[in-house]
Amino acid sequence: MEAESDKISAYVVSSELLKSFEAAAKQYKVPVDLLLSIGWNESRLNNYDGKPNADNGFGMMNLVSNSTKTTLELASQITGIEIDKLKTDAESNINGAAAVIAQYQMELNPQLSESPTVSDWSNAIKKYFQSPNEELNNSYLEVVIGTLELINRNDNRVTIEDRILISPLAGLPVVTKIWKPAHSTNFETANRGRGSITSLVIHMMEGTYLGSISWAQQQHTGPSAAHYYVRSSDGEITHMVKDKDIAYHARSANSYTIGIEHEGKISEPAWLTTSMYNSSAKLAAELCYSYGIPVDRAHIKGHSEYPDQTHTDPGQYWDWTLYMRYVQSWYAEYVRYGN
């Protein structure tokens, strides 16, 4: 769903980059628009000069090497391309991702291993994302499929509209949350609801997901906790303070807000993954729908934008345009299916 207030711009895929996508698609028999969509959603087609993100993922296709996800190593194994080159060279990175996706398709849907229809690749797309949380895998699939409608061709020119378009799998969106209560000293028991919860506060943790959760579960001289915590790598959400209660997260704004913390540091933009933006926005849309919060920047603001604050989060690298487009798109789905 398009946000009505947004003026839509378009990213032009360079002819050289398009050739790399087309060559990889042809070699591994993967739909080229599927590769473009994944690259767009993982990095906005930015190779990041071989620098890793917070998940230790590399390149525009986010080939990952960590304890739970090894698409980088698998890509090297299949293609024979050295790992360092997969990290730094855009063409190699695209080839590696295409090879991994093709192998997943062969494992999961061998009868459709050469299908030109992207929806036939759904299981392979979810495995490429590879979260232990199936709801997050489905959310990733929704965004990848939705992006296909934003890819336009005119002669030899390919553009991708710079907006968010979500393709819901079925009905009202669902936000999966893990409940881990904060220490009782870090919030005030209350009975807030629609009318008394009027705004959302966007935070950066200035640390890791697990470390921040652990902190909120302990008693401190300066009590602090937010309602929700979102992980960078896959957008997993932990719920620590009930919405009705007043979490100590934004000083003078505590009484009327819900706080959403995001893994990372304001000085390190690599933490700001598409997965975290999308998952947080889906949560924000659900909260706005549930409590009648207007979906605009007057009511969804950074910690630093509220009165009487000493923090500067979420910082200069937080992409408010992208985030609000996600929120608006998910909110439209709540309105569509919730009425």
Choose the weakest-confidence range: 23-27, 154-158, 296-300.
154-158
Has residue 316 been placed in a domain?
A: yes
Q: Are residues 73 and 120 in the same domain?
A: yes
Q: Are residues 185 and 331 in the same domain?
A: yes
Q: Are residues 276 and 327 in the same domain?
A: yes
Q: Name the residue with higher pLDDT: 247 or 336.
A: 247
Average pLDDT over all residues of the chain? 91
pLDDT tens readout for residues 107-130: 999 999 999 999 999 999 999 998
Q: Are residues 113 and 147 in the same domain?
A: yes
How many folded domains does the chain comprise? 2
Q: Name the residue with higher pLDDT: 154 or 175.
A: 175
Q: Are residues 331 and 187 in the same domain?
A: yes
Alpha-carbon distance 110 to 89, whole Å?
A: 30
> At 21, which CATH number?
1.10.530
Has residue 99 been placed in a domain?
A: yes
Residue 1 has pLDDT above 70, yes or no: no
Out of 161, 186, 201, a domain closes at: 161
pLDDT of residue 168: 66
Has residue 2 been placed in a domain?
A: no
Out of 161, 187, 210, a domain closes at: 161
pLDDT tens readout for residues 230-243: 998 889 999 999 99
What's the whole-number mean pLDDT along residues 92-119?
Answer: 96
Q: Are residues 157 and 49 in the same domain?
A: yes
Q: Are residues 96 and 230 in the same domain?
A: no
**Portion of the chain with pLDDT greater than 70, in percent:** 96
Kindly provide the residue ranges of all beta strands, DSSP E only, lying in 147-304, ordered along the sequence.
151-154, 157-161, 178-179, 187-188, 199-204, 228-230, 237-239, 246-247, 257-262, 300-302
Q: Are residues 204 and 329 in the same domain?
A: yes
Q: Are residues 325 and 185 in the same domain?
A: yes
Which residue pairs, CB below 8 angstroms and at least 24 apart, start in 303-312? 303/201, 303/202, 303/203, 303/204, 303/249, 303/250, 306/201, 306/250, 306/251, 306/252, 306/253, 306/257, 307/252, 307/253, 308/251, 308/252, 309/250, 309/251, 309/252, 309/253, 310/251, 311/203, 312/266
Has residue 173 been placed in a domain?
A: no
Has residue 290 been placed in a domain?
A: yes
Has residue 196 been placed in a domain?
A: yes
What's the whole-number mean pLDDT along residues 284-293?
Answer: 98
pLDDT of residue 7: 43
Has residue 1 been placed in a domain?
A: no
Cβ atoms of residues 274 and 42 within 8 Å? yes
Q: Are residues 209 and 245 in the same domain?
A: yes
Residue 285 has pLDDT above 70, yes or no: yes
Q: Are residues 110 and 139 in the same domain?
A: yes
pLDDT of residue 5: 36
pLDDT tens readout for residues 308-334: 999 999 999 999 999 999 999 999 999
pLDDT of residue 2: 39
What's the whole-number mean pLDDT along residues 178-196?
Answer: 97
* pLDDT band of 339, cuts 50, 70, 90: low
Strand-strand pairing, 228-230 and 257-262: parallel
Out of 161, 187, 207, a domain closes at: 161
Has residue 4 been placed in a domain?
A: no
pLDDT tens readout for residues 127-147: 999 888 788 888 889 889 988
Q: Are residues 251 and 279 in the same domain?
A: yes
Domain assignment of residue 157, given as a range: 10-161
What's the whole-number mean pLDDT along residues 194-222?
Answer: 93
Cβ atoms of residues 169 and 143 within 8 Å? no
pLDDT of residue 170: 62
What's the whole-number mean pLDDT along residues 273-290?
Answer: 94
* pLDDT band of 4, cuts 50, 70, 90: very low
φ/ψ of residue 5, rounded to 5: -85, -10
* pLDDT band of 6, cuts 50, 70, 90: very low
